[in-house]
Amino acid sequence: MKIDSHIHLNNNKFKNISLSFSSLSSELEKSKIDRAVVIHMIHEPWSLTEFSKEVNKYEKFLAIINIDPSKPDALDLTKTAIQEYGYKGVKLHPRLQQYDLNDKRVYQYIKSIAQFNIPIIIDAFPDGTYLMNGFSPLKYANLAKAFPNVNFVWAHMGGFMAIEFMLLTKRLKNVYMDISYSFLYFKDSSLLKDFIYCMKSLKFERVFYGSDYPDRSIHETLSLTEELLNKFDINAKDLNKLFFENAKKFWFNDK
């Protein structure tokens, strides 16, 4: 069994949300992926209500809401999403939505939503623009340290800074990571060994498989990820942790 812990709807190809969810479900079935964490992004053309209505038609999906904590309506939107529509977590995207994790509004927002006991996914992929704007793994670590009772997922495993993020994760018991996007983005570089090293160093605990569909193909991502992992002789027990067991416990509360 497998879980994809980082997926979005394809709003470029499908303007109808029902068709988008139907296509996503079919793509997962073709790749024999049983469940998925689906993130509703701010820029998508459908409302929280529409997204919630569709996602609840599928037992395999768990919904996450993207929030910009620098906006004045961030807390109200989060409360509505969780209490009325059943969203199970929050996605913060400081790179795309252009705010700093050091911003006091980010800290105040997380302090306000900690009561809901939901995970927070944070984009952690340092592209060139993000680096020029002051990207630092320490900003992620300081945020996690400030809220030890909140579980954070550092998406994309920190990109080319994977080792730095892994070392910080080992000191922060409320931090998890997913390998979406980065693992294949750097597949032809020397960094691939770093990702393998990081997962091994974490004993394949607190790390999830993800595709980052539709930016990356569900089928191609899974096939290439399995192929690359097999080249490094990762044993079946650790593969099961990465692809299924860790996410089952964390996202779906299935012990």
Which tens digits make up the pLDDT trace of 50-100? 999 999 999 999 999 999 999 999 999 999 999 999 999 999 999 999 999
d(C-alpha 181, C-alpha 6), whole Å: 9
Question: How confident is residue 11, by pLDDT bands cut at 50, 70 and 90?
Answer: confident
User: In degrees, to the nearest 5, what angle opens at C-alpha 95 toward C-alphas 90 and 97?
Assistant: 70
Question: How confident is residue 216, by pLDDT bands cut at 50, 70 and 90?
Answer: confident
- Integer Rg of the chain from CA: 17
pTM, two decimal places? 0.95
d(C-alpha 89, C-alpha 237), whole Å: 28
Rounded (10°) angle between helices 191-201 and 162-169: 10
The whole-number pLDDT of residue 13 equals 82
Say whether pLDDT at 223 is over 80: yes
More confident residue, 10 or 244: 244
Say whether pLDDT at 255 is over 50: no
- Give the tens place of pLDDT for each residue, 106-123: 999 999 999 999 999 999
Q: Residues of the chain with pLDDT > 70: what percent?
A: 99
Give me 145's structure tokens. Answer: 């340290």
- Give the tens place of pLDDT for each residue, 160-212: 999 999 999 999 999 999 999 999 899 899 999 999 999 999 999 999 999 99
DSSP SS3 for 65: strand
Comparing C-alpha atoms, which of 116, 121, 49 is closest to residue 83?
A: 116
d(C-alpha 230, C-alpha 113), whole Å: 40
- Residues contacting 247, CB < 8 A, separation 6+: 3, 5, 35, 37, 208, 209
The whole-number pLDDT of residue 63 equals 96
Cα 49 to Cα 65, 91, 93: the distances in Å are 11, 17, 21
The whole-number pLDDT of residue 254 equals 59
Identify the H or E element spanning 157.
none
Say whether pLDDT at 47 is over 50: yes
Give bridge partners of residue 4 from the DSSP assignment. 36
DSSP SS3 for 126: coil
Residue 59, CA atoms < 13 Å, CB-side half-sphere: 1
